[in-house]
Amino acid sequence: MSAKNYWLAFGIGVSAGAAIALLYAPQTGTKTRRQLRKGVEDAGDYLEDAGDYLKSQAERFSNEAQKAVKRSREQVETAVDKAGDVVSKAVKTAQSLV
């Protein structure tokens, strides 16, 4: 089959497919475009809502992480203070023994 015949057959096939699609289309083009536009708008709304949800979750996790860091810092400071008290008592005891 030559290239010319190939492209001719391809063009006839495309034209026939388009004609059949138009004949069997369940609704008008206007209605289809309106439906597609609504679908795109709904998808945009969904993505916006999902973005808002993810933002709120990120803020919540950030706040929880900050609270955990603060609690850990307080526990470390308490442990250091207690260790300092133990060391100073040990020094005083050692000085009294000497």
33, 35, 40, 41: CA torsion to nearest 10: 110
Collapsing DSSP to helix, strand or coil, 8 comes out as helix
| Structure tokens belonging to residue 8 | 């001719």
* Domain ranges, residue 17: 3-97
- pLDDT for 38 equals 92
CA distance 87 to 65: 33
- pLDDT for 36 equals 79
| pLDDT tens per residue across all 98 residues of the chain | 688 888 889 989 999 988 888 778 778 778 878 887 898 899 999 999 999 999 999 999 999 999 999 999 999 999 999 998 888 888 888 888 77
CA distance 25 to 45: 28
Number of domains in the chain: 1
- pLDDT for 1 equals 67
